[in-house]
Structures are given as structure tokens and as C-alpha cells.
Structure 1
Amino acid sequence: MKFTKYILFICVLWGMFACSLSKNLPENSYVLEDNRLEGVEKSNKSEIEGLYFQEPNTRIPLTNSSLGVTIYRIGQSFYDSAKVTARLDAKNSELIEVNARLEQSEDRKKLLKKRDKIQTKIQDLKKLQEYGNFLMRTGNPLAVLDSALTEKTVTEIDNYLYNKGFLDAEVSFSVETRKKKAKVSYMINEKEPYLIDSIYTNSVNEGLLSLINNTKEKSFIKQGDRYDQTNFTRERDRLEELFKNNGYYMFTKSFIDYNLYYDTAEHQINVEQRILKPSFSEKHEVYRIDSITFKVSPPSDQFIDEKVGKNFRNIDFTFYRDRFSAKLLGSRILFDEGQKYSRIDIVETQKQLSNLDLFRYINISFDTLGNSLTAKILTQPNQKYQLTNQLGLSITEQLPGPFFSMVLRNRNFFRAGEILEFNTRAGFEGVASATDQGVYQSKEFGISGSVIFPRFLIPFYGRSLEKFGRYNPNTRTQIGYNYTNRPEYTRSGLNGLLAYTWVTRGNRQQFTINAADVNYVRTPQISRDFAQVLLDLESQGNNLIWSFLPSLISSFSAQSIINFNNYGNYTSLNKASLLKLFVESGGTTLNFINTSSNSETTDFARFQWLKLQADFRRYYPLNQKSTIAYRANFGIANPYGVSNGILPYEKYFFAGGGTSIRAWQARRLGPGSYTPPIGDRGRYDYAFEQPAEMIIETMLEYRRNLVGYFDMAVFVDAGNAWVIGVDNSRPGADFRYDRFYKEIALGTGVGVRMDFNFLVIRLDLATKAVDPSMPEGDRWVLDNISFSNLFGLKGQTVLNFGIGYPF
């Protein structure tokens, strides 16, 4: 056994040496091992580090090897640039031949199809020639020290410091070499930065001067600030937007100029901001909307002679057929005849018309006559029917869960912008049985039909469409059916929904009100063993059995989603955050009816509850390759009245799983310090889902690009779920102020993501660090992990597979 270990150890060492970065390196060539930055005191170090034209390869710790370089070398061994070039030349010749035949042939259909295939192949070969094969694009080439790139980096840093106010800064570099490795040090002497002493605006246009003076507090150039070229660029953009939103249609930022006067003794700058005159006029003019026309052109493959003209709100509509509502479209046009031109109104109009999902494109242009504008809106209808299919895979309880969904849309169903939508979803999900230690695949099926109205319906009347059109109002009416077949029971539900949705200007905030959400739920089949479990719980004071009786569940809910700075765009280098607020009142109508609580003879369950949830997410980029993401989630649900302290099962909170505390299996954490029964497979083998009425979760994740499509993550998750009030069947499950902080579960781990832009595949390996189900004093379980036991006790480490980011 020891001999085998020695052989394995020698093989690992040999593999590391074979993949050594400095292997077979030419004479006088060095692998770039590190970039160092010295002397940075007042400027932004991370921004300067982002200016390096050459960076070292990401190494495997304690080795002289890199995963990215190894992948690249493997791909390179299969790559023959000469063959790629020859194939590309052959395809180009073939394309020339096909084009020549097209000019002479009468049957062009087959030749056009062949030409398209050749052009696609040529594009693929060009990509292969420039970037290499898939493995080469996934990996990274070896970073060999290049003095030209080092000097280019020095120049770039020097320019950066100058533009940030360090006009007298000095930048130099030195290279330290040892054993075919090189370390580059960039030395910076910032010296004294230049400050803005005064700002003066020079313009003969009183209107522009008035706008500038009235918005001085919003200016990016302020007295006493350090000189920053970026702020001058931002101020030019701000002024252009300001002027265009106040009627100055022809104004561009090229009319804004700056003269800087330097005081080298005091290290100060006096700024003259000049508004230049246009060459085509004596001064910048304010433009007004003279007339508005809206045309819906026929589909490109049709020629239709029929035309329909309408006028609404002084807007001239022309439709190729009488299938569109002038009133609806007019409600989404946010500017009027006689109004001053405002670019933000034009942009918002384009967004609102696009949100209707009726048109392929929205083109808004203007004709000028003097200082009057004729607004022309040109559109073309989208395809009436759209079928979307999705095939996916999720893994829970270490079992694959394939699913298939289909969406069929019928646009402009009632000729007033409505959308008829049918949704179908079928799939499997891995679940652990609540009656034994087995794991099964749950079957799920759902179908629904919806009509989405681009307006508010009941109880809104009169001019509500025109009044609220700028908020992109939608009313969804839906009816659906869901079926679940689990090891313990089968469950079906018929549901109906009336929901209102609208957004604020700029789509920053979205509001949803579910005015009526009604579900009729039945559990027609319950296994004998599971029924016994529910009866045992009931004998201990836990009335979970009522959640599995036939019931009519109705609720009223509202949700607000506030998106700060385009959260969800993970390629952005800007900080972003998202806040979701949700409140729900269930069984509210029962308050107006004289009802008694569920009794022992009740065979139809009724529920009343209040629910509140807040979910905050934050995305903070450190540099182009690294980001920190954070999430905090709090929720509480309180059953009251006829509910006997029970919620509908779907309304409970559950902790644990791939988008929760990842070191616990899905829905298995908590509640509180409750200790599940110890099964044959050890303490960490949780068989039961753990419904709770309160949840607190926080997650912190560091993400970094490793190589090509591969990203890594290091994360820490903390939280738990609790019940409100004592649950005799689960001792320690109740929330108490004097001990809840001792029951916070802690999990940590590492993850790998494959980010293909259109799809993110995620693998997270998480281990329990603090387990609240253990007795006090023994809850720190991370020390169970050692070199001889990498994953700790059985069940301590969990592998999560998912699609997309966890938050």
C-alpha cells in the first residue's frame, strides 16, 4: 500500500514537471511570474493594475504549472496552422466559383444555399486561424516576458496618472530574472496632484447658460477637486443630455470645449468651459414637435395594397390592415404635438413600444423645417405566433432532473395588443423520501393559459390607458393546472390569477400586484407510511396534516423589484444591487365570514396567513477578473385565525440547497437547533424536508475568472430557518431572541463555473463548518476535515449542480 502511494506521488511530481511553465523555453526568454506595483499612495491601485499589457498565467498553488497553459498546449498539439490556411484558401476559391456560377445560372436557389454554407465555413476557419481550436481558446498561451509590452505598460500608466491629475508623475520599471522566471516591478512617483481652482463658462446663449447654472450641483467638475479627465468627459455627456432634453435637438457634445490654464507653482488648474456656436446658425435653437406620424408597414414577405388611416391624440396612424389599436399605441408615445423636443422622451417611447412585443423594430426619425420637427415612427409587425422550447437539467439529491418546457404565444390576440400565451412544463426532480432512507425522482407537470392585456383592467375605467401608458402597465389573467407525483403522495392543483404589473421610468423599479390568486389543491393519494408520519406529528401537536387536506387557497400579494445600476449584467465593471420586497395576505376574505377554526372532523382545510420577504443582492467588481457578490434574505410567515397555526405547504420557507445554504441538502437545514433522527447513514443524512415560518440567510461569494470559459468561486453561506411558536415534534425549532444567533448554520466551499455567456453551468462543493443541530459546544464541525479525510464525516460535504449563478 505504501509502495503504491510513493508511485502515485512520483507520478504527480512528474506530471507537474511535464506541465512546467518554463519547460523548453528558448535561451534569453523568461516566463512572466509576477507584476509588482510600488509607490501608489493617492491613485487607484486596482485601476492601474488593469492597465498591464502582459499578465502572468494563473498558477496551480505550490507548483510551476498552470491549468490554462496546459489546456492551451494540449490544444496546440492538435493544431496545424498550415492546414487551416490551406482549407481557408480552398473555401475562398470555392466561394469565387459559386459566385461566378450564380451570375450565369437560372436556378439560383441551390447555389444561394451552397454559398451561405461556404460563407459560414469561411467565418469558422477565420476564427480557427486567428484564435486556434476550442482548447486553445479555452486555455491561455504562456506569458513570456516581452520588453515592448512592458514599455507600453509604462506609457499607459503614465498617461493614466496624467489624466488623473498627477501631471508631474514619473513611472519606471525594473526586471528581476531567476531560473527562467521574471518579475517586473513598476515604480511610480506620483508627486503633487493638480487641483481645480476655478471654473468659468463662456457662452452667448442665455438659454444654455441658464440650464448650466440651474444644474451646477450636478456638475462633475467642481472647485477644489483633483483634476480628472474622466470627469470632463462625463460632464460633456451630461450637458449634451441636458440640452437635448430641453429642446436643443441639433446640439452635440462637440460644441463643448475646455481650455485649461495651469499654475505649476501652486499645482492648480483654472477651467474655461466654452459653448461653441454652430456653423449653420447664429445660435443654438430650441426645436418643437410640429407633427407625429406612426406607420405600421406590412411584413417584408407580403405586399398589401390595403391601408387604414386613423387619428388619435393628433397622431396620424397608418396601418397596412385594421389590426392595431391607435389608442393603445398612442398611450405609449410620450411626446405630444407642440412639445419641446426631449431625447429622454424619445428613448422611453421606443422602450415602451418595444415592451408591447408586437413589433420587430421601432424606428423614430425626425424631419426638420426651421426649428420644427416632424416625428416619424416606422414599425413592422412581429410574427403573430411564436413557439419557444427549452430542454434543461437540474440535479438535486444527487439525482439528475431533466425538464422540458414549451411556450406558445399569439400576439395581438384581440387586436388591441393582447398576448395569448400557453405554457407547458414537465420534468423530474430528485427528492428524499420522508418515510425511509431512499431517494426518488419526483414527477412534475404543469400547464397554463394566460391572456396578457397591455393596460390595467378592472377596476380602472375611462382614460386609464392614456394616463398610465408611460408605466408599461400589464394585466395578466391566467388559469393553470399543476400535478406532482412524489414517493409519499400525489398532489394536484387548479389555479387562477389576476395580476397587475407596471414599471417606473427607466425600468428601474417594477411593481406587481396579484389582486386575486386562487388555488384549489387536492392530495388524492397519500402513502400509508407517510399518512402515519403525519398522524404521529399531529399527536405531538404538529398539525402539518392540514396542509395535505383538500383546500381552497386564496391570497392577495404585492411585490416590488428595485434594480440599481442594471444588476444581473455580470460582465459590467459597475457596482450594482437588487432589492426584492414581497408581502402577502392569504385567506383575507375569511375575515369577513363567520368561520370557526379547522376541527378534528374537518375534511376541508382553510388557511389564513400574512407573509413578508425581503431579498437584497449586491454585485461589486474588484477588477476585470474578480468580483464579490453578496446576498441577504429574510422572510417571515404568520398563520392565524382558522389555520390552526398551519400554512399551505407551498407557503413555508425552506433552507438549504444550491441557491440557499449550500452545505445542506435542499430543504434540509434546521429549523433552529432541531436534531433530526440519526439514521443508518449517520447524522448528516437528513430524510425529511424541514418547513419553517421564518428564514434568515446571508451569502458571500468571491468570483474570479480562471481561464477561458472557466471561473472559480469561494463562498461562505450563513443562516437558518425557524418556526414561530413551540413545535413539540421538533424540539429547538422555535425562534427565540436569546438563542437564535447560536443557531446560525455556517457553510463554506469552492465552486467552478463554465460561463458561455448564454449559459452558466455551476458546480459548488460545500462543507458544513457550524452545524446547529449538534449540541452546544460541538457545533464547530469543520475540524472533521483533514488530509486523511478530505470531506469530513459522511454527509458533511455536499456537491451542488446548477444552471446560472446562485444569486
Structure 2
Amino acid sequence: MSSFLLIIFMQIKPTSHYKRTIQLWLAALIMGMSACVTVKNPPVGQPFVYDSKIELKSDNISKEEAKLLKTNLAEFWVDSLRSPKVQKYFVAYKIVSPPVFDTASISKSIQFMDSYMNSEGYYQASFKDSVQVDSTTAPGQKRVTVTIYVDPNKAMIIDSLGYALEDTALERIALEKRGATAIVPHKTKFTKQNIADELDRLVKNYRNLGYYRISRNNLIAETDTTDAALLKLTLDPFEQAIKMAQAAARNKENPSAVVLIKERPPEDTTLVRSRTNDFIRYRVGHINFFPETGGTEIPDSLLHQLSQFPHVYQTRTGHISIYDKEGKFVPRPMLNHLYMRQGDYYSDTGFYKTINNLSAIGAWQQVDYRNYLHGDSVDMNFFMVPAIKQNVTVDLEGSWNTGDFVSSSNMFGLALNMTHRNRNVWKRAIQSLTNLRTGVELNLTKSSSYSNRLLQTLQIAGSHSYSFPRFITPWHIRSRNLDAIRTVVSVNGSYTDRKDYFQFRSFVTNWGYEWKKGNASWQYRPINFELYSLDVMEGLTQAMKYNPYLKNAFNTGTVLSQQLNYNITYPNKRFPGNNYFRFGIEESGTLFGLIPALKDEIYRYFRVEGEYIKHFDFDKTQLALRGFAGVGINYSGNADKFGRELPFYKQFIAGGPNSMRAWGLRQLGLGSSLQSDTSSTFRDRYGDMQLELNLEYRYPLFSIGGVKFNGAVFTDIGNIWNIRKEESLPDAEFSIGRLGKDIAIAMGTGLRMDFNFVVIRVDFGLKLKDPARISNDGWMSIKHFTWRNHEFEDQMANNPITHKPLVRNNYGIQLGIGLPF
């Protein structure tokens, strides 16, 4: 983390030689603290393990693979050669009760490391060890540093991959699907994982084609590293010796192996008949559903007490039965999510797809199964424990923001959420969700620059939605390859009263579809109807006089749009951690605007945004990165009615607890325009474009009573802009040539309190580079640092409502729930 702090610190632009000298001294102090390691409770008079190092020779491997090998090799030190370092004071470290040094532990560690290198395909790796004893740094202590030098040499490559299965059907399937193998002859390394992946691929193919009983235990991979030249017999012992020497040299220079997949012979000959049954193809037999299974009922007992069920539904073929006692569910949800048909060959994919989709509906909290062989068929039984049908939850949210909304003072927000959920509407496993929300924003210090009243903002909102566990369309859509399919209908309305400024009402309803494919999720709303109305009050009227741009920004109307959203989560390939990507598109008026009656009655715009989050998970810490980009274009024909920008409720905003944290919510931008920063009234900003990059390093601090306290250092980079140039708002439009000037940079630290079920977060950010700061090209000055920006104070008029002066802080304090990204 010290390196991270140093990088951020060195970005501060110096304004003098004196400042540069201080900067270099502080940088040296950070690096010195990072090198400081203290030892607590060392063995008295005995050498102890101070450090264990791995030095890897990487001449024959890539940098990425060398880094991965070195990291993993460190996991194979025996415990008596480990001295875990605990972080202290953020950058320094300490060692507590280090183990006594034992030379025998070195050979054990090398043995473990050699086994690991073999599993990674390095069968010719060599190891050397070095031991250094330091008795001068700390008098009375004998600090031992153990270093193991590893030379991997060349990795063994798979020369060829073949199949020699006695069962001709299995052999044919393996040959037909060999194109899907990840093993490439003469390129793929001979590793334990690569061979295991190939065996798993074969087993998956077989089980999806009806081989219900086959498993990894039925297959074996035989390898041969013998040089083919040695198979040519000769009676001359000297010639044979020369061949063997040449083969050994070739194998050392280019080690390779021939891999042959075969059936594993049974260890017990009495089990030959049982093993033969493993290679029989099974078909889907009878399918039974038990949708009202009790949480304490034993599935096997239910199968022997079928007469206790008063209601039994059977399909016309009689191959599917549904057993229930109270008739809580109609058959359709189960039949729609059954991905197998009687008489088809058994498939693992269809079987587990059925279980996963039944679980994803939400009407059942648990789905269990019991399968039984009946001749050459598999009878399946699904036991489904219903979730609690209805429940009500109440949540209280709180937020604190410096410089939020239309003021530059501290604002405290409270919101009460009440949610009612019904998981089985009309007995069809339809999900119903009703939400009521009321929130207020309070000025506890009554120091707002625009109003002395306690209540600043009042918001009331309500929503209701239905989620049907199938696609409802005028035509049939093939959904066998999709998961978690839903049709969602929702309606919501809200009322916002920004005291002295405006009253805003909205009504939104839409019809859409949701589904998953693999680890990707999709959401498509072909119909999205939004209706808004705005009552302008005295405060906003006064603000529009000082800032004419607000007349166009606060435009309202009707939206009739389509929305498409895509997101995917996937793990990192070479190190622990996950990736998240989200992409969204919305268009309004492109299609519906072609209807003459709607052409001049609805907004016509196109909006797109994307977000990428990447996490690097270390032993106890995490590095998180986030990138966001969004842009929207309003191309409505009637500019007087709909304006030239996106409607403000569709625009982008920056600042607050989850964005540029040194700025209050909606208090950054537009570009490097000073119009909003120097305004004495309404200061909220909305833009048609946003770029943002966030970097955060997270680390543990301590725990108190089960509550984990974690720390973080972060930097936020970004801003919002308009797309079109406005004479009344200079320097607010996006321009590549002015990007360096427009970009804002924040640096800060934060505290996270993890209660397991919720994380409360407080972040403190400094405006390292502020586009609204004229001096020093926007960069913070260390020599002339102030907590407030006093530029233009003598030129700005007081608020016409409160007659109070405006202040601009050089910092921001944010209170948030959960991690920012």
C-alpha cells in the first residue's frame, strides 16, 4: 500500500523548489516506513525465521507465468519456515512469535515445491537453497533469511492426444467431439490440470448423451515419454547406448509426452459386471414433482407414502406426476421449467438446468432430488420446499453529504422503505413486489446558503410489479437455452418537493423481459412509458435569471422508449478476483416517433452507458478499479418544447458517496465551466456525457465485538459535460483538446464498518485537481492550502432568498451504505 500512497502523492503538482524538496522528503519517509519490520517475542538465543524468499529463473517462461509460479510456490513453505507479517500503522509490519529455524524444513519445502512444479508440467525443475543469518541489525536476535532458487527449465509439452476406449460408442463420441478439446498438440503443457480438464470434458459429453453412471473414475490418462527412436530394436549394444543418450538429450531439450485416454480397468474383477453398466445409455423415465415438501420431511419417506397425497396431477402420457396436499401450486410453473422429456436420453445439462431454474423462480426456497435406475431408464423425483409466501420488510436509510443539493452546507437525509413481497400470486409462482418509500433531507445546522428551513426536500414514491416465470409474447420464443426467464410488468410514481425550488411528479410503467445465459444477464423492455411534470417555484425562477441554461436543463415531457441492459460477472484468469461489466442502451422516439400523432409529443433521444469493475483479491487486502462512460444525444425536432439536452432525469451526475467523493452529490461539472460553482442559487449539475475512473485499495484495521473495521485509500478521476455548446454556459461542452483541463481528480481515505449484514462507510476526499479552481491550473497547492476555495468570493452575490454568501470547500465527506463498487 505504501507504493500506492507514493504514486498518488507524487501526482501533486509542486509550485516551487521548496515544495518539491518537502515532497521528496515525505516520499522517502513513506518508503522508509514500508521497509520497517519489527519482531515481537523472538526465540531467546536461537536463530529464528525472519523471512522466506523464492527466486525464480524465468528465461524460458513468460513474465505472467513466472509471477504466478512464484506466488504459488510461496504457498508450499512448511509452517516452520513461515513468519507471517502483520500490517502495522498502515505501512509498517511486525512479526509475532517467529518459529525457530530448522534446516530439515528446507528439504521438506523443496519436496513440496517440486511436486507442485511437476503438476504444472515442469519435470526438470532444479532447486538450490541459501541461508543467511543476521545478528547485527537487532542485537540479541539471530534473524534467518531462507532463499530457494528455482530453475524451472523447459516444461513438458503434450506431443499428441489419442483415445483407446474399448467401448466403440465411447470411442466414436470422443473422436467426433475432439475438436472441442483445449489440448493443442506440440503447444499445450503437460499439466495435471490440463489432463483433468480433458477427462472432465469427456465425462460431461458422455453424461449429456445418456451415460448416467459414467464418472472420472471410469477413465484414465496414460502417458508415455519414451522417444520413438528407442522402439527400433538393434543388436548392437553400443548403438543402443548411443540412441539412449541422444534420446535423453532430446528429451531434456524438448521434453514431450504422448497422452492416451483409456477405460480404467476395475481393481476388483468381481465388479466387472457393475462397471459394464457404467457404459450403458439411460433414458429419462418417470418424473415426479413434490411442490409442497415440508422443510423437515424426508424425501425418501415421501416416496414410500404416495397414498397420503390427496391431489395427484398427471400429464396425458402419464409420465409426469405432481403430488400435493393443499393445491398451493398449479402445474404450469413446473412443466414450463422442465428441460427433459420422457424417452429422451438422459442429459446432465437438462437435469441441472431444471433444478437451477426451479430454484431461481423464488416460490421455493429449496429444491432437492432423488434419482433411481429402473432398467435402462432414470426415474427422477424433485422435492421442492415452498418459501414463505408473503413477507413485509422495513428499511431505514441514512446519508450525509457535504455541499449536497442546492447548498454548500451539511445535509442529512433519512428514508423509510416498506416492501411487501408475495412469492406465489394466483398459485402460479408469480412474484409480486410492492414498495412504498418516503424520504426527507434535513438541514440540521440551518446554515444552508439558500434556505434556513429544517426540511429541505420531501420525497414520496410507490411502485408495484409482477414477475411471471415465463416469456409472455404474441409468438413463441424458444427458451430452452436460457435460464431464469421472466416477464416483468411494473408501475411506479413519485413526488418530490424541493422546498422553494420546484415540485416534481413522475409516473413510469413498463413491460419487459429478463433472462440469463451462462453468467450473463439480459434485460429488454420493449415498452417503457414515462410521464413527468414540474412546477417551478421562486428559488428556481431566480436561479434561471442568473443561469439561463437552467431553462433548457429543466425540461419535462413524455418518454416512450425501449431499453436494453446487459451485465456479466466472471473471474480473473491468472489471479484471485472478479470482473463485472455492464452495458445499457435506451432509445426514445426512434420507432414510436415515426407515428405522426406521437412525433412532436414525445422525446427523441439515444442514450448509452457502460461500466467495468475489476477486483484484485490478495491475502487480506483488495484492489478495486472501476471505469464508467456514458453519453446521450437529444435529437427531438421541437427544441423549444424539448430543449437540446437530455431531460434532466435522464442526464448523468457526478459526486456523492459512490462517485467523485470529494464533491457533493451533483456538485461537479460541467467541464471546467464556473457557472454553477459561482452561482449564488441553484448549483445542481446535469450533463449529457460522463467519464469516470476510480481506484481504491482496501485493507483490514481491527475488530471490536464482531464488527470489522476496514480502511481504504482511493482516487477518483472524471467529470460530466454537455455534448452541444451553449453560449450561456462556456467551457461546459466536451472537447478533446480541453480534456486535461476539465478532468477532476480526488484523493482520499475512508473507514468501513462491516456488521456482516451491512457495511457503513465514511469517506473523506480532497480535491487534488478541481476544474473550477483557477490558480495553479486547478491543482491543489500544498504551500497555500486552505480548506475552502476563496476564489471569486468578493465577486459573487449573496443568495437572493437568504442573503447569505456562498462557500466552496476543497474537500468532501460522504456517508454511504455498502462499498462504492
Q: TM-score range by the shorter chain?
A: 0.7 to 0.9
1:413 to 414, 422, 425: 425
| AA partner of residue 262 (structure 2) | R
Alignment-derived partner of residue 534 in structure 1: 544
- Offset, 1:385: 1.1
Matched, 1:581 2:537: no
Partner secondary structure for residue 348 of structure 1: helix
Alignment-derived partner of residue 792 in structure 2: none
- Offset, 1:250: 0.2
1:205 to 167, 172, 181: 167
Alignment-derived partner of residue 211 in structure 2: 248
| AA partner of residue 172 (structure 2) | S
Alignment-derived partner of residue 638 in structure 1: 633
Alignment-derived partner of residue 228 in structure 1: 191
Alignment-derived partner of residue 57 in structure 1: 85
Aligned mates of 1:196, 1:780 — CA distance in 2: 59
Alignment-derived partner of residue 354 in structure 1: 359
Aligned mates of 2:449, 2:604 — CA distance in 1: 26
- Offset, 1:625: 4.1
Matched, 1:442 2:438: no
- Offset, 1:687: 6.8
Partner secondary structure for residue 580 of structure 1: strand
Q: Is the contact made by 1:145 and 1:182 (CA closer than 8 Å) also made in structure 2?
A: no
Alignment-derived partner of residue 243 in structure 2: none
2:812 to 784, 792, 798: 798
Q: Is the contact made by 1:704 and 1:711 (CA closer than 8 Å) also made in structure 2?
A: yes
Aligned mates of 2:156, 2:468 — CA distance in 1: 58
Matched, 1:513 2:525: yes
- Offset, 1:357: 1.1
Could you say if the C-alpha distance between residues 23 and 339 of structure 1 is closer, same or farther in structure 2, counting changes exceeding 3 Å? closer
Q: Is the contact made by 2:165 and 2:263 (CA closer than 8 Å) also made in structure 1?
A: yes
Could you say if the C-alpha distance between residues 707 and 21 of structure 1 is closer, same or farther in structure 2, counting changes exceeding 3 Å? farther
- Offset, 1:252: 0.8
Alignment-derived partner of residue 424 in structure 1: 436
- Offset, 1:655: 1.8
Aligned mates of 1:63, 1:300 — CA distance in 2: 51
Q: Is the contact made by 2:131 and 2:144 (CA closer than 8 Å) also made in structure 1?
A: no
Q: Deviations over 1:720-770 (max 9, x none)?
A: 211122223321112234434542223333444455654344343333333
Alignment-derived partner of residue 313 in structure 2: 309
Q: Deviations over 1:750-795 (max 9, x none)?
A: 44445565434434333333332345x833514x236x95979673
Map 1:312-461 onto structure 2 (within 5 A): 314-397=319-402, 399-429=411-441, 435=450, 442-457=457-472, 459-460=473-474
Map 1:617-696 onto structure 2 (within 5 A): 617-621=612-616, 623-625=618-620, 627-639=622-634, 640-642=636-638, 643-676=642-675, 688-696=683-691
| AA partner of residue 212 (structure 1) | A
Partner secondary structure for residue 71 of structure 2: helix
2:779 to 778, 781, 798: 781
Aligned mates of 2:400, 2:448 — CA distance in 1: 16
**Which range moved further: 199-208 or 347-356?**
199-208
Aligned mates of 2:111, 2:752 — CA distance in 1: 36
Could you say if the C-alpha distance between residues 281 and 275 of structure 1 is closer, same or farther in structure 2, counting changes exceeding 3 Å? closer
Alignment-derived partner of residue 507 in structure 2: 495
Q: Is the contact made by 1:249 and 1:287 (CA closer than 8 Å) also made in structure 2?
A: yes
Q: Is the contact made by 2:415 and 2:440 (CA closer than 8 Å) also made in structure 1?
A: yes
Q: Is the contact made by 1:481 and 1:492 (CA closer than 8 Å) also made in structure 2?
A: no
Q: Deviations over 1:262-300 (max 9, x none)?
A: 455413333232222673143611111122222223546
| AA partner of residue 156 (structure 1) | F
Q: Is the contact made by 1:433 and 1:687 (CA closer than 8 Å) also made in structure 2?
A: no
Aligned mates of 2:563, 2:90 — CA distance in 1: 53
Map 1:238-277 onto structure 2 (within 5 A): 238-263=201-226, 265=249, 266=251, 267-276=255-264
Aligned mates of 1:710, 1:391 — CA distance in 2: 22
Alignment-derived partner of residue 37 in structure 1: 54
Could you say if the C-alpha distance between residues 779 and 700 of structure 1 is closer, same or farther in structure 2, counting changes exceeding 3 Å? same
Alignment-derived partner of residue 156 in structure 1: 112
Alignment-derived partner of residue 3 in structure 1: none
Aligned mates of 1:758, 1:509 — CA distance in 2: 25
Alignment-derived partner of residue 5 in structure 1: none
Alignment-derived partner of residue 185 in structure 1: 147
Could you say if the C-alpha distance between residues 437 and 154 of structure 1 is closer, same or farther in structure 2, counting changes exceeding 3 Å? farther
Alignment-derived partner of residue 698 in structure 1: 693
Aligned mates of 2:222, 2:732 — CA distance in 1: 69
| AA partner of residue 290 (structure 2) | K
Alignment-derived partner of residue 556 in structure 1: 561
Aligned mates of 2:92, 2:594 — CA distance in 1: 71
Could you say if the C-alpha distance between residues 545 and 290 of structure 1 is closer, same or farther in structure 2, counting changes exceeding 3 Å? closer
Q: Deviations over 1:220-251 (max 9, x none)?
A: 44433333222222222222222211211101
Partner secondary structure for residue 194 of structure 2: helix
- Structure 2: runs of 5+ lacking an equivalent: 1-32, 227-247, 267-271, 303-307, 403-409, 790-807
- Structure 1: runs of 5+ lacking an equivalent: 1-15, 70-140, 598-605
Partner secondary structure for residue 659 of structure 2: coil
Would you say how many aligned residue pairs link Structure 1 and Structure 2? 691
Q: Is the contact made by 1:46 and 1:622 (CA closer than 8 Å) also made in structure 2?
A: no
Identity score, percent = 22
Aligned mates of 2:107, 2:459 — CA distance in 1: 62
Aligned mates of 1:657, 1:402 — CA distance in 2: 15
Aligned mates of 1:583, 1:707 — CA distance in 2: 45
| AA partner of residue 541 (structure 2) | A
Aligned mates of 1:164, 1:468 — CA distance in 2: 39
- Offset, 1:478: 2.6
Q: Is the contact made by 1:385 and 1:408 (CA closer than 8 Å) also made in structure 2?
A: yes
Could you say if the C-alpha distance between residues 151 and 438 of structure 1 is closer, same or farther in structure 2, counting changes exceeding 3 Å? farther
Q: Is the contact made by 1:555 and 1:588 (CA closer than 8 Å) also made in structure 2?
A: no
- Offset, 1:334: 0.8
What's the TM-score once normalised by structure 2's chain length? 0.75
Partner secondary structure for residue 223 of structure 1: coil
Aligned mates of 2:76, 2:760 — CA distance in 1: 30
Could you say if the C-alpha distance between residues 528 and 64 of structure 1 is closer, same or farther in structure 2, counting changes exceeding 3 Å? closer
Could you say if the C-alpha distance between residues 743 and 143 of structure 1 is closer, same or farther in structure 2, counting changes exceeding 3 Å? farther
Q: Is the contact made by 1:634 and 1:697 (CA closer than 8 Å) also made in structure 2?
A: yes
Q: Is the contact made by 1:477 and 1:496 (CA closer than 8 Å) also made in structure 2?
A: no
- Offset, 1:674: 0.3
Could you say if the C-alpha distance between residues 290 and 62 of structure 1 is closer, same or farther in structure 2, counting changes exceeding 3 Å? closer
Matched, 1:167 2:123: yes
- Offset, 1:418: 1.8
Aligned mates of 1:528, 1:773 — CA distance in 2: 27
- Offset, 1:429: 4.7
- Offset, 1:589: 4.7
Partner secondary structure for residue 692 of structure 1: coil
Q: Is the contact made by 2:413 and 2:439 (CA closer than 8 Å) also made in structure 1?
A: yes
**Which range moved further: 180-189 or 332-341?**
180-189
Q: Deviations over 1:551-605 (max 9, x none)?
A: 55333232222314269xx9992543323222231697565346897xxxxxxxx
Aligned mates of 1:596, 1:470 — CA distance in 2: 37
Aligned-pair Cα RMSD in Å: 3.9
| AA partner of residue 311 (structure 2) | K
| AA partner of residue 275 (structure 1) | E
Q: Is the contact made by 2:553 and 2:643 (CA closer than 8 Å) also made in structure 1?
A: no
Could you say if the C-alpha distance between residues 476 and 198 of structure 1 is closer, same or farther in structure 2, counting changes exceeding 3 Å? closer
Aligned mates of 1:142, 1:584 — CA distance in 2: 64
Q: Is the contact made by 1:477 and 1:499 (CA closer than 8 Å) also made in structure 2?
A: yes
Aligned mates of 1:63, 1:468 — CA distance in 2: 54
Partner secondary structure for residue 605 of structure 2: strand
Partner secondary structure for residue 566 of structure 2: strand
